[in-house]
Structure 1
């Protein structure tokens, strides 16, 4: 269940664009590997490594679309997460905005009834980032976890450091619209620290006990675009 992409929801890294001056559009590809694929503070790869790749299209109007695939393991066998997304991003004065829709698909039989889609709105002001995602449609029952109506909020702040290092801090909170008499309390928060240089990132992540995955995580990741 997926990014960073959000993001940490950041699937595409450095870009060498394939530019058409006629269409005023860019197409790029990305690949990556991580020692532990985390999504909203929770491992998607059974605390093991994961490889990923994707394609992105963007137009100077602000419209973009793309797809991303990553290897996963929820403890019921190896699988693949396939994300499809489209949206519109731009700036209004000092503020940046990004509005879109993302669909998380899991084609393997072991992951039946796991697909769902979200609408999201992300913003930025300087080094501050923030956003919210709402589960719009899901294969799960409406009153079950990851069903329709769930909300995820996040806020982040980044710092430029000497020698081309950067430091990012993210806090996220997942609020599930569920029948607590049947499923209990699933709401949880998580925090993540990312130290990056070039194509490499070292991360430390910690989620609340309600996430079901509250061990402190130490992750090394590499990714690039072309």
Structure 2
């Protein structure tokens, strides 16, 4: 499953699976760079470039893999001065690595495809709370949709009640001759005694084009350029966010 260019670092089986014959086992890898890592509409590298890569195993209808990306998260720290009369606001940046683990089943029958799987999203140095989700997808020719219910595994507590946040992420993608459009929507649900709704339900859309650079019949690398528009509620800002992203990736076969 090649996630290197997906702002999807959701895993959509309908668009990512490489189904091989029932008796075949295939192990592939990928490595790449993006000018900005945007995950489902949200900036995960604070406007900076990110290095990414992964490994994928396909065996008939079964798939499993791991995917990594550098991440950087901006945070605001408020500090009272000694007189307690004023507050200094300092912008800091936490850096770490996103480590995704995923597995599932999928298949293609004629023009139709489907996938059922699960993904764990982990982050080093507690940059972001880890979360898990189920991945349900279906597709027909150039159109694919997915429903991804998930849950953040938060360590935060309020009155000794652990605060876990659940969500359902919906996505639809249309792709024709390298051009594609994706619409995604986060439906958040604060649970287990949370004092307020800290994140509002919101969406984004992405438009882009991707292809392979080939010289003398040799595939050098894949490239992709995309534009992402994110609703202001998604990024917790007063204004919406527009991001132009360019990326390259190299795919290689390890076992075939």
State the alpha-carbon separation in 2 of the partners of residues 128 and 140 from structure 1: 38
Secondary structure of residue in 2 paired with 1:131: strand
Asked if residue 84 in structure 1 is aligned to residue 101 in structure 2, the reply is yes
State the alpha-carbon separation in 2 of the partners of residues 22 and 40 from structure 1: 33
Per-residue Cα deviation, 1:88-108 (whole angstroms, up to 9, x for no partner):
010244320111010001121
| Count of aligned pairs | 211
Alignment match, 2:184 = 172
Cα deviation for residue 184 of structure 1 reads 4.7
Q: 1:51 to 1:9 in 2, by over 3 A?
A: farther
Cα deviation for residue 142 of structure 1 reads 10
* Correspondences of 1:1-226 after superposition (within 5 Å): 3-7=7-11, 24-60=24-60, 62-75=61-74, 76-108=93-125, 110-111=126-127, 114-136=129-151, 138-139=153-154, 147-160=164-177, 166-178=178-190, 182-184=196-198, 186-198=200-212, 199-212=222-235, 214-226=240-252
TM norm structure 2: 0.73
Q: 1:191 to 1:47 in 2, by over 3 A?
A: same
Unaligned segments of structure 2, at least 5 residues: 1-5, 75-92, 213-221
State the alpha-carbon separation in 2 of the partners of residues 175 and 12 from structure 1: 23
Q: 1:10 to 1:89 in 2, by over 3 A?
A: closer
After alignment, is 170-179 or 26-35 more displaced? 170-179
Structure whose CA Rg is larger: 2
More helix by share: 1
What is the root-mean-square deviation in Å for CA atoms of aligned residues?
A: 3.1
State the alpha-carbon separation in 1 of the partners of residues 53 and 180 from structure 2: 23
More strand by share: 2
Cα deviation for residue 23 of structure 1 reads 5.9
Secondary structure of residue in 1 paired with 2:196: helix
Contact 1:147 1:177 in 2 (8 A): no
TM norm structure 1: 0.82
State the alpha-carbon separation in 2 of the partners of residues 136 and 44 from structure 1: 18
Per-residue Cα deviation, 1:38-57 (whole angstroms, up to 9, x for no partner):
11111100011000111111
Secondary structure of residue in 1 paired with 2:124: coil
Unaligned segments of structure 1, at least 5 residues: 161-165
Cα deviation for residue 137 of structure 1 reads 5.8
